[in-house]
Amino acid sequence: MENVLQYILGLGSTVFVPIVLFIIGLIFGQGFFKSLKSGITVGVGFIGFNLAVGLISSALSPAVQLIVERFGFNLTVIDLGSGAGAGVAFSTMVGALIIPAVFLLNIVLIVIGATKTMNIDIFNYSHYAFSGAVVHNITGSLPLGMACALIQATWSLLSADYTAKRVQNELGVEAISIPQGYASSSVPLFAILDKLYDHIPALKNSTLDIKGLQSKIGMMGDPVIIGVALGIIIGLLAGYNFQQLASLVMNVCAILVLFPRMIKIIVEGLLPLSESAKTFFGKHFSGKDLYIGLDSAITLGHPTTVIIGTLLIPITLILAAILPGNKVLPLADLAFAAFFLCMATIIHKGNILKTLISGTINMIGILYLATWFAPQFTDLAIKGGLAETGQSVSALWAGNVFMAIIAKFGSFGILGVGLLILATIPVILWVRKHSLKD
């Protein structure tokens, strides 16, 4: 089982996802060559996207490190990042079983009508594996750990169903949803905040998106010009000289331009597939909606997400330094802040001000939850050979409210898991009747 898991993970999203989409295209009657083109086009988009992600790591991470050193942040828990988090999760016994377990659960939930989403984003099953591994580590019970992992997988599917129509409208692609482990967990907070903003006149009447910003301030609202400003701010905080600053500015601008372009390629591959899916479901399932669950990466083409995500880098460092009780030093994950607020952009329909406020509030919660998870993260990382004894480590990736709730209740044993299951049933029934309007 472990060898099979490692083989699948070794394919990477640029190979595995196109293969899955090719097969789905054939099932939907898209034809061999059209299915092949759709799958490969999405794969090409992901290759380009990964290159842009690599640019974030190579350009922004060193700047973040220098800012931390320059301002002498005295924080004791090191943020190892999402890669290490996934490595920790998949190195556990729960991680070895998570892919077939979640896949089978997903099929059962679709058959009984509990979800409309088929989650093919298997690389992000690591979020579920981590929750289960923490419970297994605390209780010593693998069945309880697996149960908790599957509960989180279910919650992610329900969150994806709830936001599906809004996601489809904002991205312009039908028959998709976002069950990704972190993005789905941020939905309740952003949805509550969106309702709260309706009672604050200044925010209720705000319609400031990127197009609105450009109409108000002209070229100053263009993503490239915003990239110049953000690059200068981050570079000055890092103490860069002119050459380093100029290079950083160009890289930040490249990030803001390349992300939307790469996502457009992914969407280009998904559009024929989504149209075939709609026709297939209408013919064979009496018009019933079913969605293909994808990685939240496809939402990063929205300029609001990338711009506010970059702006949150210095904001998060300030929060980490001043929040009482926070022990996490944001490092590896900080450059990828856009992933933590992508659903805020979707829920707030691209509104810049709302997304900035929600993203900032969310980062506060992430820092505290990552601090709370640090002992368990460190223990699992040491057991998995990803950290050394004496280190204290965590990841912003672990600042996941679904993980925290499930790990806390799961630590109470059978009673806690039973309560989680009982709480899930009414949510399934509620999501059947309610969803975000597109």
List, for residues 234-292, the tens digit of each pLDDT value. Answer: 899 889 999 999 999 998 888 878 877 887 888 888 888 877 877 777 676 666 778 98
Each residue's pLDDT tens digit, 101-142: 998 999 999 989 999 998 988 888 999 999 999 999 999 999
What is the pTM assigned to this prediction? 0.86
**Residue bearing the bigger pLDDT, 231 or 370:** 370
Cβ atoms < 10 Å from Cβ of 104: 11
Strand 291-293 relative to strand 328-329: parallel, antiparallel, unpaired? unpaired
123 neighbors 86 (Cβ within 8 angstroms): yes
**Residue bearing the bigger pLDDT, 343 or 332:** 343
- Count structural domains, the chain: 1
- Burial string for 181-208 (b: 16+ CB within 10 Å, else e) reads bbbbbbbebbbebbeebeeeeebeebeb
Residue-number span of the structural domain to which 241 is assigned: 2-433
Cβ atoms < 10 Å from Cβ of 287: 9
Residue 438 lies in a domain: no
Sign of CA dihedral 227, 230, 233, 234: negative
Each residue's pLDDT tens digit, 162-210: 999 999 998 888 889 999 999 999 999 999 999 999 999 888 877 777 6
Sign of CA dihedral 8, 12, 13, 14: negative
What is the helix, strand, coil percentage profile of the chain, to 5? Answer: 75, 5, 20
**9: pLDDT confidence band, cut at 50, 70 and 90?**
low
427 neighbors 152 (Cβ within 8 angstroms): no
Residue 248 lies in a domain: yes
**Residue bearing the bigger pLDDT, 343 or 18:** 343
